[in-house]
Amino acid sequence: MPYGCCEIDINLTFVMEQYIDIYKQYATGEHRMTFFFVATVVSAVLFYIIWWLISFSRVRRTGIILTGISGSGKTTILSKVLAGKEVETVVSLKENEGAYTTEKGTLNLVDIPGAEAIRQKYFDIYKDTAKGIIFVVDSESFSRDLKDVAEYLFTVLTDSVILKSHPAILVACNKQDHLTAKSKKVIQEQLENELNTVRKTRSAALSSTNGEESAVTLGVKGKNFEFSHLGKIKVDFIECNAKGDSEGESRLDEIMLWVNKLV
């Protein structure tokens, strides 16, 4: 009695032979042009269907998230970038969004609320589609806000989705019209120091609850934190002024340049 494996072998060989016969009959006979034409069309259609299924199953990353603590200027920046669109600038409890279109394409700009109790919920909704994140900082009240700003930035930089999709990140040092505003260089240095502290605190908190070495990784282990240690996540710093100074001129050219590169 033949084994199951051999039966399959025999059947497969038989089927292959059948196909080879059909191929020989059509590919070499008088209908060979028709055969090659049909084969090309069928292959093209199959290729198109597979490409369509792959591209639509992937998440399309065409969003820019404006985030940062409350009062840093996110809504003001959004309304200036989307010039002409009415956007409310009261303390936002929900997101504001709008399409930014150039001849190269369209990005969806969304300004999520900065209040601690709700910002994570909105960040989680939009983070999958983020091609870029603008992290807005109030350069005038920066020293007072430092701890809060660093805590939030830490959460963004260690988010598992962000680590996987590594969107471009821009720290926008806003309100530069104020005479006492900190420069982007000072903001970067102070954030690096504070993020170092947050990293230590979070690691200690985790290891005391787990009783083992924590898995919080930000930058290079054993080295003082620097933004250049973030691997695939590229963080840029720019200075801007969304509201305009005494002469009414706002300064958003560097944000626009960065956004335009992502379209």
Ligand X SMILES: Nc1nc2c(ncn2[C@@H]2O[C@H](COP(=O)(O)OP(=O)(O)O)[C@@H](O)[C@H]2O)c(=O)[nH]1
Chain positions contacting Mg ion, by CB under 5 A: 75, 92
Query: How many positions of this chain bind ligand X (CB under 6 A)?
Result: 18
The residue within the footprint of ligand X, chosen from 89, 129, 196, 207 (CB under 6 A), is 89
CB closer to Mg ion out of 92 and 139: 92
Q: Is 97 in the site for ligand X (CB under 6 A)?
A: no
Identify the sign of the CA torsion 247, 251, 253, 259.
Answer: negative
Minimum CB separation from ligand X for residue 68, in Å? 6
CB closer to ligand X out of 119 and 127: 119
Partners of residue 62 on adjacent β-strands: none
- Are 139 and 68 in contact by the 8 Å Cβ rule? The answer is no
Q: Is 182 in the site for ligand X (CB under 6 A)?
A: no
- In angstroms, what CA-CA distances link 137 with 48, 66, 69, 87, 205? 46, 11, 7, 19, 27
Reference 202, options 189, 219, 184; nearest CA is: 219
The residue within the footprint of ligand X, chosen from 26, 62, 71, 118 (CB under 6 A), is 71
* The two structure tokens encoding residue 115: 């209040």
* The two structure tokens encoding residue 255: 């944000």
CB 229: neighbour CB atoms within 10 A? Answer: 14
* The two structure tokens encoding residue 235: 């963080």
Q: In this chain, which stretch among 64-72, 145-153, 183-191, 200-208 interacts with ligand X, using CB under 6 A?
A: 64-72
Minimum CB separation from ligand X for residue 88, in Å? 8
Residue 92: strand, helix, or coil:
coil
The residue within the footprint of ligand X, chosen from 100, 109, 110, 114 (CB under 6 A), is 114
Minimum CB separation from ligand X for residue 173, in Å? 10
Residue 81: strand, helix, or coil:
helix
Q: In this chain, which stretch among 118-126, 162-170, 200-208, 235-243 interacts with ligand X, using CB under 6 A?
A: 235-243
- In angstroms, what CA-CA distances link 184 with 87, 137, 146, 175? 27, 10, 13, 11
Q: Is 174 in the site for ligand X (CB under 6 A)?
A: yes
Q: Which residues bind ligand X (CB under 6 A)?
A: 70-76, 89, 92, 114, 136, 174-175, 177-178, 241-243
